């Protein structure tokens, strides 16, 4: 499979502009032979939209799901995008996978800081796996990937690629997370990890950029800079890392 990762400067509260940006990237991804596009955490609302997020939250089977399904059918590219999901009075920080035939939603289990905890309800940790073009994708969101238990749960359930929309803020440890922790998660579970971030800033946050795709041997297949939008491409072939999987048998050797 060929994965495209959109490092994106979302407009807080401007759902129309953000969806248009995703649509533009999907068409570019299709032109470059990709079959999956990943956008950041809360890409549809903008991570820093604050209280507007509650107003913009929508059902899992709402207009966004329909638009992404139509876009996928048009381009042949499946999509993963972060959005605010509402069910009654409950709002989740969610990511939707849409391939034109089905929509699958993952809800973030580990909320980060008082900002997220004031806006969202956490979901119980679970192994959300989607089969895409014969490859099993495990879905997480941002802070979720910083807990090794979450990635290990998915790897033990058979996931080969971790899809991680994120909103990593700029900080003195952002580069460590994006360029050290993420490749370690890939290596210790013998999986690919697509870590897809925002860039730039809004009224509430500055974002670290540094999106990337890590391989099972810990190498980076694609990397974005700290600043500026970028559309990354990475070819993911689990069979190409058979030697690494033979040499690093963490999953087989794990004792609990």
pLDDT in tens, 38-68: 999 999 999 999 999 999 999 999 999 999 9
109-125 mean pLDDT:
98
Print the domain residue range for 21.
Answer: 2-253
Structure confidence at residue 227 (pLDDT): 96
188 is catalytic: no
CATH number at residue 205: 3.60.110.10
Q: Give the count of domains, the chain.
A: 1
Q: What is the widest separation between alpha-carbon atoms in the chain?
A: 50
Q: pLDDT tens digits for 158-217?
A: 999 999 999 999 999 999 999 999 999 999 999 999 999 999 999 999 999 999 999 999
Burial label for 34, CB within 10 Å (0-12, 13-18, 19+), is: buried
Closest CA to 214 of 148, 166, 153, 161: 161
pLDDT (average), residues 229-233: 98
Q: How many residues does the chain have?
A: 256
Average pLDDT, the chain: 97
pTM: 0.97
Mean pLDDT of 73-78: 98
pLDDT value at position 256? 82
Spatial CA neighbour of 151 closest among 162, 167, 165: 162
pLDDT beyond 90 at 74: yes
Candidates 23, 58, 85, 108; catalytic one = 108
User: Looking at 23, 116, 128, 142, which residue is catalytic?
Assistant: 142
Mean per-residue pLDDT, 82-89: 97
């Amino acid at each position: 499979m060929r994965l495209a990762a959109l490092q994106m400067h979302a407009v807080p509260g401007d759902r129309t502009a953000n969806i248009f940006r995703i649509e533009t990237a999907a068409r570019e991804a299709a032109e470059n032979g990709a079959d999956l596009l990943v956008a950041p955490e809360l890409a549809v609302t903008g991570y820093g939209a604050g209280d507007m997020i509650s107003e913009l939250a929508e059902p899992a089977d709402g207009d966004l799901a329909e638009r992404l399904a139509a876009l996928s059918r048009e381009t042949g590219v499946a999509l993963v995008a972060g959005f605010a999901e509402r069910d009654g009075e409950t709002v989740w920080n969610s990511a939707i996978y849409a391939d034109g035939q089905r929509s699958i939603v993952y809800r973030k289990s580990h909320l980060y800081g008082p900002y997220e905890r004031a806006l969202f309800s956490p979901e119980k940790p679970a192994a959300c796996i989607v089969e895409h073009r014969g490859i099993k994708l495990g879905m997480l969101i941002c802070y979720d990937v910083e807990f090794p238990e979450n990635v290990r749960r998915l790897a033990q359930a058979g996931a080969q690629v971790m899809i991680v929309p994120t909103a990593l803020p700029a900080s003195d440890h952002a580069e460590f997370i994006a360029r050290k922790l993420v490749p370690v998660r890939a290596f210790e579970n013998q999986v690919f990890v697509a870590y897809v971030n925002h860039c730039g800033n809004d009224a509430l946050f500055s974002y670290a950029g540094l999106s990337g795709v890590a391989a099972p041997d810990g190498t980076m297949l694609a990397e974005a800079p700290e600043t500026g939008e970028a559309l990354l491409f990475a070819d993911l072939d689990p069979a190409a890392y058979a030697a690494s999987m033979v040499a690093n048998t963490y999953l087989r050797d794990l004792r609990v």
